[in-house]
Chains A and B, each alone.
Chain A
Amino acid sequence: MDLGLASDDLDKCVQCGLCLSSCPTYRVTGDETMSPRGRIALMRHVQHRGAPLTAEVVDAFETCIQCRGCEPACPSSVPYGHLIEQTRSVLVASGASTPWWQRLAFRQLARPRLLRAGTTVLALAQRAHLVPQRLGLPARLPLRRDPHVVSGRDVYLFTGCVMDAWQRDVHHAAARVLEAAGCGVTPTGDAAPCCGALQAHAGLLDETRRLARRMIEQLEPDVPIVVDSAGCGAAMKDYGRLLDTDEGRAFAERVVDVHEFLAPILDRLPTVDPLDLRVAVQDPCHLRHVQRVHGATRTVLAPFVRELVELDDDGLCCGAGGAYSVLHPALAGTVRSRKLAAITRASADVVASANPGCTMHLAAGGCATLHPIELIDRALSEERAPGRPPRRSRRRSSRG
């Protein structure tokens, strides 16, 4: 079966296995079919040797979290993320993967009003104890959301789909921090309802392309698009490749992760007393392995907390993987246990993770997790709080 994969990309893999330890699913199963090397070999078997798409082969592809931890580990620069995305899209087209009800669910992501209404229903149901915990929803979904406020047009703040419905507070925090740095912020709101990342992971690439084109049309040119969700940022930075158009490439150039944006202008933020917290940084995979700007998180966060601490697991995925934790709860849970053990070893007061899926997944595992921007916002707002004696200005330490 033709998976539509470029032979040159497939052939780059020399099956050295150096990627194995960076793969969360291999780490917890020890099984080659659940490894990057194995999945690439299966792609070759299917595309080059006509091997049949058995249930086990489909399972090998579907259990990939698409964290892309295997990419930085690979000395041959195999573009694994593109290979699996393309493979998944052919599986979907052939009906072997992502059944109709999942496709229907993914389509709702681009319908903001429906999503918010659904969230309110869920939130009410939660309060009536009707929602089982194993669904991994945030402990308490918001019943209502404060509206977005436009404070200027220096930057767009991309607000997205599920995150806007479930974690709008994080967007508000990001907006306040950007404003404190002197930027007028326009939240994108319903003008750009969804980036299409989750759809792309599920192999619904056409849906992602449709959303990408729509977003490019809706947002004014030349304004930087700041993103506070690592997964969305990674997907939007890939629009150039995905659409293969000049508009797509120009748009992708404007996409910037919120920490990446703040790092070079950090001196514009007021100097405040750091929060008295030891914070463990848990890098979202799409920030670390795909956008590769995780250094900026540390630069930006360090002055605002007492101490930053690294996890000792080399940036292994936490198992969230967008919709993965819902579709493969058992495997996602095992992967998370590994992460939670690393977090325990770091003995931190709180974990900072810059992606809504990861914060939810970790929180569902009983681990207090905040977005780094929430911590920065908190440090800044404690300073702003009325009735506090004015502080001596302190030199910002450059820890981390």
Chain B
Amino acid sequence: MSGDPAVDDLVAALGEALAPDRVRHDGAERALLSRDASVFEGGVAGPVCFPVSTSEVQAIMRIAAAGGHNVVPRGAGTGLAGGAIPLGAPIVVSTTRMNRILDVDVDDRIAWVEPGVVNLDLSRHLGPLGFHFAPDPSSQQVCTIGGNVANNSGGPHCLAEGVTNAHVRAIEVVLPDGEVAMLGGLDAEPLGYDLRGVFVGGEGTLGIATRIAVTITPNPPAVRTLLLSFAEVVDAANTVSAVIAAGCVPAAMEVMDQRITVAVERYVGAGYPTDAAAVLLAEVDGLAHGVDHDAETIATIGRANGATDVRLAANDDERALLWKGRKTAFGAIAQIAPDYYLHDTVVPRSKLADVLEQVYAIADRHELLVMNVFHAGDGNLHPLLIFDAREPGVLERVHLAGAEIITASLDAGGVLSGEHGIGVEKQQYMDRLFTDDDLDHQDRLRRAFDPTCRANPGKVLPVGHSCADIQSLRAVPTGVWG
């Protein structure tokens, strides 16, 4: 009992539509679901629902629509831009119980999944069939396909294969009014506008995905993984541009600077050199003959750009360990300082080295420690500012440095987010990239799905654009900096 009869009625109605033990409204649950993996605080969750079917999601949406309540979908809560932070005391719809792999069609290379299926679980399931799901965010062992779709997430292996958008064929969506719509389709060229493409990357502001048809990718017959060491970070960045310029598109190209490799070594002992200023982890896949040729190309270009050492992973175990190191980089840095703020901008590959130097200079100016790990092949930078939030005044410096990093990236012709989404994190920068006119059109597109702005309100579009401008949302402004 909450003491507020309206809330009690809402909880009771939801409990009746689902099952009483799949609707929670206690303080512990709400406190936990007011956060995700980002630094943002200030969210306040309403009742938390754990539906198990499309019709249950529909029932929740109808109850929300009838009562004018906001709704926020949530997957595993690993988002880094605050997409799942509940603003406006919404009903939180957790998809974790909708985690069935419904159908796999190897001939048509399609898998139908519920949104709560964990990314890696799908690839594991497909493994014995000789397939995998290509987008592989570093959080893949925990994040959900629904979250991947909503954030249009990428991963190290999206360089050649493309990010989530390239791997989603059709999405069943429960719209904010409770109607169910199928966006996209299994035909090669579905008729009409590509609404599927609109939904991917919609960050939960357009409705809730309840079933998703994804493309499954055959496992490559051969893989080669190289580790190149450099005495300068820019040498690594230049190597990346040169490899692509040479017409070779590896499956993945990831750069980590020395601070990262030191932290990662302490955690997994992946075998990274800790004395190199930067390492480039590159992977090529395809037919055996081709991969040897590509590996040689990368090695040659690396040496020409100053690589001090080039190593080829000897076997699958070594390869897996190198990737484990890369994929746990964000977590591993917590051994250095308790808090981090991870940025996610994309710059043209040719400007990589340039922007990187600026990032280091910006951090220096604000007396902050910065580490760089990035999907170099895409020009997707992930500078990590690490700090101890207990130090007075440090948050302001982190904030300022962050703003300057974003400015530097945009000035170099880049964009705001490579893969983590806009969420609440980068809203205020949207008008740096878009004109008022652009933003108005985006707002209108959104309203076509959600005329009353109740689906994940307060996200993506900056304040001043109606869907973000609901006063009540700002009534809990403990500030995103806790």
The smallest beta-carbon distance between A77 and chain B, in angstroms, is 6
Give the segment of B11-19, B29-37, B433-441 that binds chain A.
B29-37
Cα–Cα distance between A57 and B329 once the two chains are bound (Å):
31
Interface string of B73-95 (1 = CB under 8 A from A): 00011100000000000000010
Give the segment of A26-34, A119-127, A268-276 that binds chain B.
A26-34
A29-B96, A51-B31 provided; 19 other pairs, C-beta below 8 A? A12-B334, A14-B330, A16-B139, A17-B36, A21-B142, A30-B94, A30-B96, A31-B94, A31-B96, A32-B77, A33-B28, A38-B32, A41-B35, A42-B28, A56-B28, A56-B29, A57-B28, A75-B267, A75-B328
Interface string of A73-98 (1 = CB under 8 A from B): 11111000000000000000000000
Interface string of A1-26 (1 = CB under 8 A from B): 00000000001111111111100000
- List the 7 closest A-B pairs by CB distance, nearest first: A30-B96, A75-B331, A76-B334, A75-B328, A56-B28, A32-B32, A11-B338
Question: Is B118 an interface residue, CB under 8 A from the partner?
Answer: yes
| Residues of A in contact with B, size category | 20 to 34
Cα–Cα distance between A56 and B33 once the two chains are bound (Å):
14
Ordered by A's residue number, 7 sampled pairs between the chains whose C-beta atoms are within 8 Å are: A17-B139, A20-B76, A31-B96, A41-B31, A51-B31, A54-B27, A77-B267
The smallest beta-carbon distance between B256 and chain A, in angstroms, is 14
Q: Which residue of B lies closest to A35 (CB)?
A: B32
Q: Are B142 and A20 in contact (CB under 8 A)?
A: yes
Interface string of B261-272 (1 = CB under 8 A from A): 000000110000
Q: Which residue of B lies closest to A32 (CB)?
A: B32
Q: A17-B76, A17-B142 are in contact. Are A33 and B331 (CB under 8 A)?
A: no
Question: Is B217 an interface residue, CB under 8 A from the partner?
Answer: no
Q: Which residue of A lies closest to B340 (CB)?
A: A14
- For residue B219, which residues in chain A have a CB less than 8 angstroms away from its CB? none
Cβ-neighbour of B26 out of A12, A54, A76 (below 8 A): A54
Question: Is B297 an interface residue, CB under 8 A from the partner?
Answer: no
Q: Are A30 and B141 in contact (CB under 8 A)?
A: no
A residues 55-77 in Cβ contact with B at 8 Å: 56-57, 60, 73-77
Question: Is B133 an interface residue, CB under 8 A from the partner?
Answer: no
Q: Are A14 and B29 in contact (CB under 8 A)?
A: no
The smallest beta-carbon distance between A78 and chain B, in angstroms, is 9
Chain B residues proximal to chain A, CB less than 8 Å: 24, 26-29, 31-33, 35-37, 50, 76-78, 94, 96-97, 99, 116, 118, 120-121, 124, 139, 141-143, 267-268, 328-332, 334-335, 338-340
Q: Which residue of A lies closest to B386 (CB)?
A: A14
Q: B27, B28, B335, B338: which has the most chain A beta carbons within 10 Å?
A: B28
Q: Are A54 and B331 in contact (CB under 8 A)?
A: no
Q: Are A42 and B334 in contact (CB under 8 A)?
A: no
- For residue B27, which residues in chain A have a CB less than 8 angstroms away from its CB? 51-52, 54, 56
The smallest beta-carbon distance between A16 and chain B, in angstroms, is 5
The smallest beta-carbon distance between B74 and chain A, in angstroms, is 9
Q: Which residue of A lies closest to B141 (CB)?
A: A21
* A-B contacts, CB under 8 A, total: 101
Interface string of A120-161 (1 = CB under 8 A from B): 000000000000000000000000000000000000000000
Q: Are B29 and A31 in contact (CB under 8 A)?
A: yes
Q: Which residue of B lies closest to A30 (CB)?
A: B96
Cβ-neighbour of A77 out of B31, B335, B340 (below 8 A): B335
The smallest beta-carbon distance between B113 and chain A, in angstroms, is 15
Q: Are B32 and A42 in contact (CB under 8 A)?
A: yes
Cα–Cα distance between A280 and B436 once the two chains are bound (Å):
62
Q: Are B32 and A12 in contact (CB under 8 A)?
A: no
The smallest beta-carbon distance between A10 and chain B, in angstroms, is 9
- For residue A56, which residues in chain B have a CB less than 8 angstroms away from its CB? 26-29
Q: Are B116 and A33 in contact (CB under 8 A)?
A: no
Question: Is A278 an interface residue, CB under 8 A from the partner?
Answer: no
Cα–Cα distance between A42 and B139 once the two chains are bound (Å):
23
Question: Is A45 an interface residue, CB under 8 A from the partner?
Answer: yes
Q: Are A12 and B28 in contact (CB under 8 A)?
A: no
- For residue B332, which residues in chain A have a CB less than 8 angstroms away from its CB? 75-76
- For residue A21, which residues in chain B have a CB less than 8 angstroms away from its CB? 118, 120-121, 141-142
- For residue B78, which residues in chain A have a CB less than 8 angstroms away from its CB? 16-18, 20
Q: Are A45 and B31 in contact (CB under 8 A)?
A: yes
Cα–Cα distance between A30 and B97 once the two chains are bound (Å):
6
Cα–Cα distance between A335 and B19 once the two chains are bound (Å):
21
Q: Are A17 and B37 in contact (CB under 8 A)?
A: yes
Cα–Cα distance between A96 and B97 once the two chains are bound (Å):
30
Q: Are B330 and A16 in contact (CB under 8 A)?
A: yes
Q: Are B31 and A74 in contact (CB under 8 A)?
A: no
Q: Are A14 and B32 in contact (CB under 8 A)?
A: no
The smallest beta-carbon distance between B424 and chain A, in angstroms, is 16
Cα–Cα distance between A206 and B288 once the two chains are bound (Å):
61
